[in-house]
C-alpha cells in the first residue's frame, strides 16, 4: 500500500473499499469538463475525464491504471499551473528580493501524493477516482520517482523547496533535467548491477516545457581582447539551455514556486545535412550528440579526460543557464527606460550554491557583468560577493572538488582567466592585511600549482566568492571553522555560519505515516504541528499514558505490516512484523560504515548458531535491512553490497534461525521506498565515523517517525540526541576529537583488535557465506597505510562498543512499555529538525528575504 492511499483508505466510508476493476468511461455519469481548479470530488472527476478524453498521450478508450495516473496528474497540474502563474505574477508585481537555489541534485520522490496533500485535495481526489472506477492507492503506485538526484544532497534540496513554498518565500530552485539519473539498481547473485533509469521513457506529467526560455551556453573557443580593453569569449561550441518548470506547491498557501531544470539542445541548423547525405552520419549529428550527453546521466564517470570534461560541462551548463535566467528576470522587473542600476542586483537577488557543484556561478556572474554588461572588475566583484552564498556539505577529500587547470582552461578559457585574477587578488589581500598568514597562502589559494597536477580548488573559490559560508550541523560547522577552513575563518569570522538541516514534516510524517499523524493530531488537539513542528513537544506530557502507548504501537505495527508486504513482493523474503525492524538506508560508502553493520550481523548470527534451543528463546527477533546505491565505479562499496546479499542468502534460509534473524538488502532505494521504510522502522543505524558526516537528514526522518537511533556523535546525531534526550539514544563509538589520535595510533601499530572483531572477520573468511573473494574488503580493515586502508574509518576500534550497544538495544526492546515511551519522546523531541525552521534561518540570516504571500 502506498503512503498516499493509506491516508485515503484509513478514513472510512466509501473510500475504504478498494475498487476491483475500472468502470467503462463511456457509461460513466461523469462528463469530461475542463476545470483547472476543482475543489470537490465531482469537479475533480470531470477534469480527470477531460484529460482522458482529450489528452494526446493515450487512446481515449482506455482507462487502465497507467492512463488514469497520467490523467489524474495532469488534472492536478492544471491547478498547479494556475497557482504558479499567480505566484509568478505576484512576484513580478511586488519585485521582492528573491532567492535562487542552485543544486546538482533534487530527489523529489513521487509528486502526486505531495501535491494533493499540500493542496488539501487528497479526499477529493480519492472520491473522484472511486467514481471513475479506480482507487487512489493503485493510481499513486503508477508514478515513477523523478531521477533528478541520488542521495541526501538532493533530498535536502527538495525539502527546502517545499519549505520555501510553504513559508511563501520568493524563491526558486535550479538544476538539470537528467534523462537517466544516476542508475536503476538491481540486486542479483553478483551483487549490485546498474541499469539506466526509465523515468522519462514516456513523459513526466509534472514538467512544463518553456520554449520561450532558452539561453546559449558556450564551451571551448578562445578569448580575445577588444579595442576598449575588454575581453571577449568567442568561437567553440554553443548549445542551448531549454527550461522545464516543475511546480512546487506550498502547504496551506497559494504560493507555488518552481524547480526549473535545464535540458541541452542545439538548433536544427546545426544538423549537417550535407554530411548526412554523404553518409557521414556521426559528423552530421556530432553537436546534437554532444548536447544530449550533458543531461544524460547524473555524475558520469570521470576516470577519463572525456569524463572530466563532461562533468565540468554539466556544472557550467547549469550555472550559466541559471545565471542568465536570473539576470533576465532582474532586467524584466526593472523599469524599461534608462540604464540599469547594477548596484541594486544584490538587493534583489540571492544565489545559494548547494555544495561545490555550482561553484562556477561566481565566475559566470563575473563574466556576464564584465563582458556583457560592461562593468569594471571591482564593481562586478562587489556585486558577486554580495549576491552569492555557499553551503558546504562534506569534509571528505574526494568530495571537495578540484578541477584540472588544463581541463578548465580548455573548456572555459574566460573563466580560467577570471579565476586566476581572483586568486591573484586574494594573495595580494592576505599579504597586505594578514602578513602572519603569508606562510599559509599556498595552501589557501584557489590555484594549486603543483607541477605534477595543477588544479583549481573549487571549495576555496566558493569561500572567497561568497558573503556567507555555512555548514549543515553544529559539529560540522565547528569542523569547518577549526579545521577545513580554519585559515579562512581567521580572515573572515563573520562569514561563517551554521544552518542545521531539516526535513519537511509534510512528506516525512503527515503524508507518509497518516496513522501516526492522526494519533499525534488527536493527542495534541491540533494539526498545526504540520507547519509548526515545535508543537510536537506537547507529546511529552503523555509519554507515560498507556492509552497513547496502545495507539502508538498499533500505528507502528500497521506501518510494519505494510512494509513487510512490500519487502516480500520486491525481494521474496518473508518477514515477521513482530520482529524488531532495524534499518540503515544511505548511500553506500565506507565512512557510513555499512560494513560495520553487516559485520555485527555476522557476529550475531555466529553467536546464535552456537546457542542452545533454550538460549535462542531469549533472543529478540530482528530484521536487519540495508538500502542504498554504491557508485558504479566504487568497488569497495559494491563489495559491501555483495557481502550483505551473501549474508542474507545464508541467514534467511537457515531453518535453525528461522524468524529470529533476517537480513534484507532493499533494491533500488528511492524516496518512495523511504516513505514506506521510515515509518515502519523501529531502530535506525547512523554509525558513520565521528566527524565525517556533515549532517544527515535520514536520521531526522527516522526520529520524527518515532524510530530510535543507534549512532555515533557525528553530524546531526549530536543535536538529535540533545533534543530527544540522551536516554532515548543508543550511543557508541569514538568522538570526533579522538579520531585523529586513534588514526595515528593505528598507523603506529598500537591498535589491538577486539576478539569479537577478529571472530566476525574469520567467519567470513571461512567461506560461511560463499566463495566470493572478500579479501580486498577485509584487507581495508588491516594494515597501517593511509586513506581507505589501515582501517581509516575505525571500524575495528568502534566495533566492540557497537556490539555492546546492540545488546542495550535488545534489552530495551524486551520492555515494550519503555520502548514505546522512548519512541514517543523521539517524535516529541524532533521539532527542531523541520526544514521550515532551517529555511526561515537562511531567509533571515543569509538571504535577507521576506514572505511574499500570494493574496
pLDDT in tens, 331-375: 999 977 788 999 999 999 999 999 999 999 999 999 999 999 999
Q: What are phi and psi of 210, to 5 degrees?
A: -110, 90
Q: Give 303's pLDDT tier (boundaries 50, 70, 90).
A: confident
pTM flag (> 0.85):
yes
Task: Indicate if 592 belongs to the active site.
Answer: yes
Measure the CA–CA gap between 763 and 248, rounded to whole angstroms: 51
pLDDT at 628 over 90: yes
Higher pLDDT, 1 or 207: 207
Residues of the chain with CATH 3.40.50.2000: 557-833
Residue 512 · residue 681 · CB < 8 Å = no
Active-site hit among 311, 348, 357, 393: 393
Q: Where are the beta strands (DSSP E) in 14-154?
A: 98-102
Q: What pLDDT was estimated at residue 530?
A: 98
Residue labelled with grid coordinates 538488502: 665
Measure the CA–CA gap between 470 and 114, rounded to whole angstroms: 29
Which residues does 606 contact at the CB level (< 8 Å), separation at least 6? 759, 760, 763
pLDDT in tens, 743-755: 999 988 889 999 9
As a whole-number percent, the residues of the chain with pLDDT over 90 amount to: 87
- List, in sequence order, every residue forming a beta bridge with 237; answer none if it has no partner: 219
Residue 530 · residue 26 · CB < 8 Å = no
Measure the CA–CA gap between 517 and 504, rounded to whole angstroms: 14
Measure the CA–CA gap between 287 and 772, rounded to whole angstroms: 44
Which residues does 691 contact at the CB level (< 8 Å), separation at least 6? 395, 475, 479, 714, 736, 739
Q: Burial level of 15, CB count in 10 A (0-12/13-18/19+)?
A: buried
pLDDT at 822 over 70: yes
pLDDT at 835 over 60: yes
pLDDT in tens, 63-82: 899 999 999 999 999 999 99
Q: What pLDDT was estimated at residue 491?
A: 97
Q: What pLDDT was estimated at residue 17?
A: 41
Q: Give 552's pLDDT tier (boundaries 50, 70, 90).
A: very high
Measure the CA–CA gap between 797 and 757, rounded to whole angstroms: 9
Active-site hit among 215, 460, 495, 701: 701
pLDDT at 399 over 90: no
Least confident range from 39-48, 492-501, 592-601: namely 39-48
Q: What pLDDT was estimated at residue 101?
A: 98
Conformation bin of residue 510: beta by default, left when phi > 0, alpha when psi is -120 to 50: alpha
Measure the CA–CA gap between 172 and 96, rounded to whole angstroms: 13
pLDDT at 788 over 60: no
Active-site hit among 506, 586, 604, 662: 586
pLDDT at 631 over 80: yes
pLDDT in tens, 680-720: 999 999 999 999 999 999 999 999 999 999 999 999 999 99
Mean pLDDT, residues 298-321:
94
Task: Indicate if 586 belongs to the active site.
Answer: yes
Residue 381 · residue 366 · CB < 8 Å = yes
Taking alpha carbons only, the member of 111, 123, 99, 131 closest to residue 28 is 131
Q: What pLDDT was estimated at residue 543?
A: 98
Residue labelled with grid coordinates 491540533: 526
Q: On the CB side of 267, how many CA atoms lie within 13 Å of its CA? A: 8
**Pairing of the two strands 402-404 and 455-457:** antiparallel
Question: Is CATH 3.40.50.2000 the classification given to domain 557-833?
Answer: yes
Query: What is the length of the chain?
Result: 855
Q: What pLDDT was estimated at residue 335?
A: 78
Measure the CA–CA gap between 672 and 670, rounded to whole angstroms: 6
Active-site hit among 481, 556, 592, 604: 592
Provide the mean pLDDT of the chain.
94
pLDDT in tens, 432-455: 999 999 999 999 999 999 999 999
Task: Indicate if 697 belongs to the active site.
Answer: yes
pLDDT at 501 over 90: yes
User: CA angle, corner 527, sides to 522 and 531, nearest 5?
Assistant: 150
As a whole-number percent, the residues of the chain with pLDDT over 70 amount to: 96
Which residues does 740 contact at the CB level (< 8 Å), separation at least 6? none
Find the helix or strand (DSSP H, E) in which 193 lies: strand 191-195
pLDDT at 833 over 90: yes
Task: Indicate if 131 belongs to the active site.
Answer: no
Q: Give 789's pLDDT tier (boundaries 50, 70, 90).
A: low
Q: Give 182's pLDDT tier (boundaries 50, 70, 90).
A: very high
Q: What pLDDT was estimated at residue 28?
A: 67
Q: Burial level of 452, CB count in 10 A (0-12/13-18/19+)?
A: exposed
Measure the CA–CA gap between 504 and 679, rounded to whole angstroms: 14
Which residues does 829 contact at the CB level (< 8 Å), separation at least 6? 536, 537, 703, 720, 723, 724, 725, 728
pLDDT at 795 over 80: yes
Query: In this structure, which long-range contacts are made by residues 284-292, counting pairs with CB atoms below 8 Å and at least 24 apart in sequence?
Result: 287/237, 287/239, 290/237, 290/239, 291/239, 291/240, 291/264, 291/265, 291/266, 292/179, 292/264
pLDDT in tens, 2-44: 444 444 333 333 333 444 455 555 556 888 888 888 889 999 9
Q: Give 396's pLDDT tier (boundaries 50, 70, 90).
A: confident
Taking alpha carbons only, the member of 415, 480, 452 closest to residue 236 is 415
Residue 723 · residue 821 · CB < 8 Å = no
Task: Indicate if 587 belongs to the active site.
Answer: yes
Mean pLDDT, residues 468-479:
97
Instruction: State the cell numbers at 171.
Output: 524563491
Measure the CA–CA gap between 386 and 350, rounded to whole angstroms: 8
User: CA angle, corner 815, sides to 813 and 817, nearest 5?
Assistant: 110
Higher pLDDT, 5 or 540: 540
Active-site hit among 90, 288, 460, 587: 587
End-to-end CA distance of the chain: 37
Measure the CA–CA gap between 66 and 71, rounded to whole angstroms: 9
Amino acid at each position: 500500500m502506498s503512503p498516499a492511499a493509506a491516508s485515503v483508505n484509513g478514513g472510512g466510508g466509501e473510500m475504504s473499499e478498494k475498487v476491483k476493476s475500472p468502470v467503462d468511461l463511456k457509461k460513466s455519469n461523469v462528463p469530461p469538463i475542463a476545470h483547472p481548479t476543482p475543489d470537490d470530488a465531482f469537479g475533480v472527476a470531470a477534469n480527470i475525464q477531460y484529460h482522458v478524453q482529450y489528452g494526446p498521450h493515450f487512446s481515449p478508450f482506455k482507462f487502465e491504471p497507467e492512463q488514469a495516473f497520467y490523467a489524474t496528474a495532469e488534472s492536478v497540474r492544471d491547478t498547479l499551473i494556475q497557482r504558479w502563474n499567480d505566484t509568478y505574477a505576484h512576484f513580478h508585481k511586488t519585485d521582492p528580493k528573491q532567492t535562487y537555489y542552485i543544486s546538482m541534485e533534487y530527489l523529489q520522490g513521487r509528486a502526486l501524493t505531495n501535491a494533493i496533500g499540500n493542496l488539501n485535495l487528497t479526499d477529493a481526489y480519492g472520491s473522484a477516482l472511486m467514481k471513475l472506477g479506480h482507487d487512489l492507492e493503485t493510481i499513486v503506485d503508477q508514478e515513477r520517482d523523478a531521477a533528478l538526484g541520488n542521495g541526501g544532497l538532493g533530498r535536502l534540496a527538495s525539502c527546502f523547496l517545499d519549505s520555501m513554498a510553504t513559508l511563501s518565500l520568493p524563491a526558486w530552485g535550479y538544476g538539470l533535467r537528467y534523462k537517466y539519473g544516476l542508475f536503476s539498481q538491481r540486486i542479483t547473485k553478483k551483487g549490485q548491477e546498474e541499469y539506466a533509469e526509465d523515468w522519462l521513457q514516456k513523459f513526466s506529467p509534472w514538467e512544463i516545457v518553456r520554449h520561450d526560455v532558452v539561453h546559449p551556453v558556450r564551451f571551448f573557443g578562445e578569448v580575445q581582447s577588444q579595442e576598449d580593453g575588454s575581453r571577449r569569449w568567442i568561437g567553440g561550441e554553443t548549445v542551448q539551455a531549454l527550461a522545464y518548470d516543475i511546480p512546487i506547491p506550498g502547504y496551506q498557501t497559494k504560493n507555488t514556486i518552481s524547480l526549473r531544470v535545464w535540458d541541452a539542445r542545439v538548433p536544427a541548423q546545426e544538423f549537417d545535412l550535407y554530411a548526412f547525405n554523404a553518409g557521414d552520419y556521426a559528423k552530421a549529428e556530432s553537436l546534437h550528440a554532444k548536447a544530449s550527453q550533458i543531461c544524460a546521466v547524473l555524475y558520469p564517470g570521470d576516470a577519463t579526460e572525456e569524463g572530466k570534461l563532461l562533468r565540468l560541462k554539466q556544472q557550467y551548463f547549469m550555472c550559466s543557464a541559471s545565471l542568465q535566467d536570473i539576470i533576465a528576470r532582474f532586467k524584466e522587473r526593472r523599469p524599461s527606460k534608462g540604464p540599469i542600476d547594477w548596484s541594486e542586483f544584490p538587493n534583489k537577488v540571492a544565489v545559494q550554491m548547494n555544495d561545490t557543484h555550482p561553484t562556477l556561478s561566481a565566475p559566470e556572474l563575473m563574466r556576464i557583468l564584465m563582458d556583457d554588461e560592461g562593468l569594471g572588475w571591482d564593481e562586478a566583484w562587489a556585486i558577486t560577493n554580495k549576491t552569492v552564498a555557499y553551503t558546504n556539505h562534506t569534509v571528505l577529500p574526494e568530495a571537495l572538488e578540484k578541477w584540472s587547470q588544463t581541463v578548465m582552461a580548455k573548456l572555459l578559457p574566460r573563466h580560467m582567466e577570471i579565476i586566476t585574477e581572483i586568486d591573484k587578488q586574494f594573495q595580494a589581500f592576505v599579504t597586505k592585511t594578514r602578513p602572519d598568514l603569508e606562510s599559509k597562502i599556498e595552501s589557501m589559494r584557489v590555484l594549486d600549482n603543483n607541477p605534477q597536477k595543477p588544479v583549481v580548488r573549487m571549495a576555496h573559490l566558493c569561500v572567497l566568492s561568497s558573503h556567507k559560508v555555512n555548514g549543515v550541523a553544529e559539529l560540522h560547522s565547528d569542523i569547518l571553522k577549526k579545521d577545513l577552513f580554519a585559515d579562512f575563518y581567521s580572515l573572515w569570522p563573520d562569514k561563517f555560519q551554521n544552518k542545521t538541516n531539516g526535513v519537511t514534516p509534510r512528506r516525512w510524517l503527515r503524508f507518509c505515516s497518516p496513522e501516526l499523524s492522526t494519533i499525534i493530531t488527536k493527542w495534541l488537539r491540533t494539526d498545526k504541528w504540520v507547519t509548526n513542528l515545535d508543537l510536537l513537544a506537547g507529546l511529552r506530557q503523555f509519554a507515560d499514558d498507556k492509552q497513547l502507548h496502545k495507539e502508538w504501537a498499533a500505528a507502528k505495527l500497521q506501518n510494519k505490516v505494510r512494509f513487510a508486504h512490500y519487502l516480500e513482493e520486491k525481494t521474496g523474503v518473508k518477514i515477521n512484523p513482530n520482529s524488531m525492524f532495524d534499518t540503515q538506508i544511505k548511500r553506500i560508502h565506507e565512512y557510513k560504515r555499512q560494513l560495520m553493520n553487516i559485520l555485527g550481523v555476522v557476529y550475531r548470527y555466529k553467536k546464535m548458531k552456537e546457542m542452545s534451543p533454550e538460549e535462542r528463546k531469549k533472543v529478540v527477533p530482528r530484521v536487519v535491512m540495508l538500502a542504498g546505491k554504491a557508485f558504479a565505479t566504487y568497488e569497495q562499496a559494491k563489495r559491501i553490497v555483495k557481502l550483505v546479499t551473501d549474508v542474507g542468502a545464508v541467514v534467511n534460509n537457515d531453518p535453525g534461525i528461522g524468524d529470529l534473524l533476517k537480513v534484507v538488502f532493499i533494491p533500488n532505494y528511492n524516496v518512495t521506498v523511504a516513505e514506506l521504510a521510515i515509518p515502519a522502522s523501529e531502530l535506525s543505524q547512523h554509525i558513520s565515523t565521528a566527524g565525517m558526516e556533515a549532517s544527515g537528514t535520514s536520521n531526522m526522518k527516522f526520529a520524527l517517525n518515532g524510530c530510535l537511533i543507534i549512532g555515533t556523535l557525528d553530524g546531526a546525531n549530536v543535536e538529535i540526541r540533545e533534543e530527544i534526550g540522551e536516554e532515548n539514544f543508543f550511543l557508541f563509538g569514538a568522538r570526533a576529537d579522538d579520531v585523529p589520535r586513534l588514526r595515528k595510533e593505528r598507523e603506529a601499530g598500537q591498535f589491538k583488535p577486539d576478539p569479537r572483531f577478529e571472530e566476525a572477520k574469520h567467519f567470513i573468511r571461512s567461506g560461511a557465506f560463499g566463495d566470493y573473494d572478500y579479501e580486498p574488503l577485509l584487507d581495508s580493515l588491516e594494515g597501517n597505510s593511509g586513506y581507505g586502508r589501515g582501517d581509516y574509518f575505525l571500524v575495528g576500534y568502534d566495533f566492540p562498543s557497537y556490539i555492546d550497544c546492540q545488546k542495550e538495544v535488545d534489552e530495551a526492546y524486551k520492555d515494550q512499555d519503555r520502548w514505546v515511551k522512548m519512541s514517543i519522546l523521539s517524535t516529541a523531541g524532533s521539532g527542531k529538525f523541520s526544514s521550515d525552521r532551517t529555511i526561515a534561518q537562511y531567509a533571515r540570516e543569509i538571504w535577507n528575504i521576506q514572505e511574499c504571500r500570494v493574496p
